[in-house]
Amino acid sequence: MLAQIEEEHYVKLDELISLCRSRLRKCDEDLIRRAFFLCYRAHSAEKRASGEPYFYHPVEVAKIMLEEIPLDDVSVAAALLHDVVEDSDYTIEDLRDEFGEEVARLVEGLTKISGIFANREIKEAESFRKMLLSMIDDIRVILIKFCDRLHNMRTLDALPPHRQVKIATETRDIYAPFAHRFGLGKIKIELENLALKYLDREAYDDISARLALTRTERIAYLEKISLPIQKELTKRGFKFEIQRRPKHIYSIYNKMRQQNKSFDQIYDIYGIRVILDTDDSSDCFGAYGYITQIYPPVPERFKDYISVPKHNGYQSLHTTVIAPGGKMVEIQIRTRKMHEFAESGIAAHWRYKEKVTSADEGIDQLIKWARDLVANANTAQDFMEGFRLNLYQDEIYVFTPKGDMKVLPVGATAVDFAFEIHTEIGMHCIGAKVNGKMVSLQTRLKSGDQVEILTSKNQTPKADWEKFVVTHKAKLKIRQFLNETRRKEIEEGRNIWNKLVAKTKRLFTESDIVKLARFHGLPTPADFFRALGAKEIDSEKLLEEIEPKAEPKPEPKPENKNGVPPVTLDDFARQAREVHGLKADNSNDAVVISGLTNVAHSYAKCCNPVPGDDIIGLVTAGGTVKIHRRNCVNVNNEQILKSPKVVTVQWKPTATSDFLAGIRIYGEDKLGMTNEITHVIVKSEINIRSISLNAKDGIFEGTVILYVKNIEHLQRVVERLRKVEGVFAVERFSNN
């Protein structure tokens, strides 16, 4: 069997064994070799999209794990075997017999979560729970999965564009922030940069090129300002390493978008990291004091993550100083151990402990976080919301009157703080004192605030609370209370309705109830029953409305001066739509046709021209003129353009009609996207004729037909839609 292994595979095995020897505290080399050969046999007939043998992928995953987050020899074996059960005839039992229970359990966990993100709109929470339950069972499952995704991102060029976009979106929205939650700094940065490469290639290439152009200048500048620091710290007896640290591409991209700045306006792309060879964290504060005697610090940019670590265990001092030339330079100061945790996160525990168990503080916190998410989510939507909220948000540190610290996301309010203390306090909070002053419940808190919550047993959550709270716990508890209240009100409303109907001699159909709901300005029967149960509709007056009364013979409807019966509200709405449509489609006062007068014309539905478009007229067989955009595919050929049917047309500068235009939108398929798009259009003072969004493989394609005044009006809404988070492209289209 060994003779069948090609020479290049022996090279890969030697590289793997060499990495194991250098990166692991101890290693069962026989275990690695056996896993290597079984991996080769299982995948020998498979090819990747790039044409490479599939066998290369698990080997590279194992190498990434050894280089980035070295764990142990069992993890290396599991990385080599992670696709074997899914892609071959081998079973978990086979692996258990061959490699033992620990390796088999890791591979089983990886197999269970392999398809979790195959569909962006997962209908059941079970897939998500599987991922976190696997993590609770053995945290190494998720760490190997990160290495698997990183190698897939490094080789994404081989896939077609639509698959690249889908995988890159998953990576940006799920894997990168999840890696951050685990403290895997290096992996998180590379995942973000690679995702940006496929989601906005133009921006990625532009920032990369600019960084490359300024690299020599940047290195020279950082070396210049590092020398005084190096001399001072050496003089003071510190042992240390100074690293020059440029901001990564995705970080610069985000800052440019969030602050609406160009690359040249981003001043803090310079960075220095001082790594002290000491176990005493107080040395970091000493080094900070000496450095800020050389360069003046920016006080509001000082962050102490040593005294108060981030939720993922990250520790470091951050400060920004004003260096020569007025440039702002971020300086990070940490110990060697802190640096290893910052780079490798939770995986660094393996380098400091012989045996890592759930009793380890850092791992225990992650497992508690996972358990809370699993326990509190009733639906896939609840789970995903909590999952994302817990991954993305930065933190603030707030204190109770007794001095207990609570960690909350940036933007958290007094209500979030109340729910963080206890659910019952959150449910009954009526106000808050922040640093001794009364504030409203929706007040945003800041790090260092001391908060006292005031409660009342008569208080209950209000609907508007859900709009301003930011923590998953607060959102979930408020939503559960409101849903339960609504359910009870609907049930009470149905009981009231049944009693009212029993007093009458009428039989009410569902259609009758729909009409009655609309009469009261309510969209659905459920809303009607809720309003009745909440006493928003007077049941006695409702009885008068539905109680049949003897009425005289109906008189004919009064007529207006022209002898025509007045229109109902429905008639009015229908006629208004028809008139508006005619106005948009005909717009007879909007164009001038050269050489022709009193000639009927209309606008081609194949291209829907609007004022500002370059247009052309085409005389039809019926003698009317059809107005096309000059670049319309139906007129844009030499034979038509030279024919006598073509006439010159121009827009009148006084055209005020509304015109139909169509746009096509591509983006990420996520909850609420239709509402976001509609909100942007309505805010642009544009009426919508129709909107349709169709999703597949996590990407949606939508078409929107609009009424616009002119091309500038259309372009404004297009630009605003392009800025909607999750929208990849917006373009005008024809053939409506």
- The catalytic residues are 86-87
**Distances from the Cα of 466 to the Cαs of 40, 406, 676, in angstroms?**
53, 21, 18
Rounded to the nearest 10°, the torsion over CA 597, 598, 602, 607 is: 0
For 82-128, give the DSSP string: TTHHHHSS--HHHHHHHH-HHHHHHHHHHHHTTTTTS-SS-S-THHH
In the beta sheet, which residues pair with residue 433? 438, 452
CB atoms within 10 A of CB 299: 9
Decide if 591 contacts 650 (C-beta within 8 A): yes
Counting every residue, how long is the chain? 736
- Any idea which residue has 């702002």 for tokens? 328
Q: How far apart are CA 576 and CA 658, in angstroms?
A: 14
Of 462, 455, 448, 398, the closest CA to residue 424 belongs to: 455
**DSSP secondary-structure letter at 613?**
B
d(CA 720, CA 272): 38
User: Please, are residues 574 and 582 in contact by the beta-carbon 8 Å criterion?
Assistant: no
Contact (CB, 8 A) for 704 and 662: yes
List of residues 6+ apart from 730 with CB closer than 8 A: 663, 664, 665, 666, 718, 721, 722
Check if the beta carbon of residue 153 is closer than 8 Å to that of residue 407: no
Cβ partners under 8 Å of residue 712, min gap 6: 612
